[in-house]
A = this chain, B = another copy of it.
Amino acid sequence: MNLLLLEAAELDADNRALVTGRRERHLRDVLRAEVGARLRAGVIDGPLGTAHLEALTADGARVQFTPERHPAPVDDVLLLAVPRPKVLLRMLAHAAALGFARVVLFRTWRVDKSWLTSTAMQPDAWREQLLLGLEQAGRTQLPTVRFFDRFKPMVEDQLDALRLPAHRYVAHPAAAAATATLAAPSRSSGFALAIGPDGGWLPYEVDQLRLRGFCPISCGPHPLRTETALAVLTGQLQLLRDRR
């Protein structure tokens, strides 16, 4: 936890909050924070700043938050075929840490239907992982997560309404375009990255995405697991953008 994340509703009129539960235990047991400590903190979907630890009581840890700056909003979007439950949870934490603003989950042909009934598909489970990712990376913008049960209606009927960034990529090991040859996404706008299931997309699915402006890209001839591909491709796209 590199950032103590507070919810706006936890703060009173003087910007004081009582921190309990997992965060309190982390403050006490891992950070071994003492009264008087100053901690990097932030408000979910709000500013970054400093929390002053004013008291440690049986009720929790009382902090006073001082906002310092509003991080620049991001608009990168991850479109993700639902992976198996454990991997989904880890990938949501990765997505939040990597700075995605939105995660769009959907089922493709090769997604195992049984995964959809897992507890990992519950919004509470999503939120917990997203918060862990934000705390790790020192970010405050909580990604939104939406789930579409079927691929075809999603791309045909819903994609326009999602108003995705203009720069769109679909991870596809067989793609002709290596990331090393890509034009960089614009610095001022986000990108959308679609990652299929471990077994890969159907040709039909890639075609549908291509029709809607997604450029198939590959990070090389060696297929990676979706979890690794997410980090590799996001890192590469961000690098290209930052070098512009």
- Using a CB–CB distance below 8 Å, which chain A residues touch chain B? 2, 94, 97-99, 136-139, 178-181, 219-225, 228, 230-236, 238-240, 242-243
Contact = CB atoms under 8 A, between A and B. Distances in A.
Given A239-B236, A242-B180, A99 B222 contact: yes
Contact of A225 (B136, B223, B242): B136
Given A180-B239, A239-B180, A242-B178, A137 B222 contact: yes
* Total copies of the chain: 2
A228 B99 CA distance: 13
The majority secondary structure among interface residues of chain A is: helix
A240 B99 CA distance: 22
A2 B180 CA distance: 23
Nearest to A94: B228
Contacts of A94: 228
A223 B136 contact: yes
A243 B180 contact: yes
Given A178-B242, A181-B243, A231-B231, 20 more contacts: A97-B222, A97-B228, A98-B224, A136-B223, A136-B224, A137-B222, A137-B224, A138-B222, A138-B223, A179-B239, A180-B239, A180-B242, A180-B243, A219-B238, A220-B242, A231-B232, A232-B234, A232-B235, A233-B235, A236-B236
Contacts of A231: 228, 230-232, 235
Contacts of A234: 232
Nearest to A2: B223
A224 B234 CA distance: 13
Contacts of A136: 223-225
A239 B178 CA distance: 9
Contacts of A181: 243
